[in-house]
Amino acid sequence: MKTGALDLPDTSRLEVDDAKDELRKVLRAHRRAHHHHPAQGHTAACDALTEHALEAVAGAEKVAAFVSVGAEPCTRLLLERLHEAGVKVLLPVLGPRLARCWGLFQGGEDLAERAPRRPPEPSGPTLPAEAVRQVDALLIPALAVDSAGRRLGQGGGWYDRMLPLRSPDVHTFAILHPEELVPGPLPMEEHDEHVDAVITAQEWFLLATGSPAHTMSPES
């Protein structure tokens, strides 16, 4: 474990939902206080994160990713670099009747806020949730990940529904600020999906545990 991990409050006495809410408050407050993106251009942390992520998914022809907002680790330069390299990038979009869907990234100038309180989305056709089965790697947001691959997300449940649809042999990388990789254990429920890899501005690596999906053979 890297030193410098955030010291999170002990929530073991709380119900899982309450524990998650408590930790989300702490982690969001920390992000707001410590991580600011310039209005224009990219920071050194953004450049470093982009380099690590490009290394991590080298050789992939299609990846699922996300558009960073606010104090999240910046993915916008990464999206452009993947796009320039000819990698197809799927981004979350809200489909008809609030269905969780994907859209194809077509460059930063195409991104626009198409729904209130949602990250910017690409235009173009909406692809079904199952399109994620075709990707070679997933790059997903997280507020924190522990050393066993437990992930604390924003609480919308998007990835808990999406990750079971992925191909069993692909890596799921959580994109974090370095101090958000914590010893754990983070609170988990049965539907919570593990990640098996982490990317920060300092480094990227596979977690030794791997997620349960990766112990199965592709046929099973």
Query: Quick check: is 5 in a domain?
Result: no
Query: Quick check: is 169 in a domain?
Result: yes
* pLDDT at residue 39 in the model: 66
Domain coverage including residue 153: 16-210
pLDDT at 116 over 50: yes
CATH code, 131 = 3.40.50.10420
As a whole-number percent, the residues of the chain with pLDDT over 70 amount to 91
* pLDDT at residue 84 in the model: 97
Query: Quick check: is 219 in a domain?
Result: no
| Cα 62 to Cα 114: distance, rounded to the nearest angstrom | 24
Cβ within 8 Å of residue 203, ≥6 positions away: 52, 178
Give the pTM: 0.89
* pLDDT at residue 137 in the model: 97
Sheet strand arrangement including 137-141: 100-104, 88-94, 62-64, 137-141, 171-175, 197-199, 204-206
pLDDT at 215 over 60: no
Reported as a single tens digit per residue, the pLDDT across 13-30 is 999 999 999 999 999 999
Query: Quick check: is 70 in a domain?
Result: yes
Reported as a single tens digit per residue, the pLDDT across 40-95 is 667 899 999 999 999 999 999 999 999 999 899 999 999 999 999 999 999 999 88
* pLDDT at residue 218 in the model: 37
Query: Quick check: is 153 in a domain?
Result: yes
Instruction: Quote the mean pLDDT of the chain.
Output: 89
Query: Quick check: is 9 in a domain?
Result: no
Higher pLDDT, 211 or 78: 78
* pLDDT at residue 209 in the model: 57
pLDDT at 117 over 90: no
Query: Quick check: is 8 in a domain?
Result: no
Query: Quick check: is 98 in a domain?
Result: yes
Q: How many separate domains does the chain show?
A: 1
As a whole-number percent, the residues of the chain with pLDDT over 90 amount to 72
Angstrom CA distances, 195 to 12, 44, 127, stand at 22, 26, 23
Reported as a single tens digit per residue, the pLDDT across 146-163 is 999 999 999 888 898 899
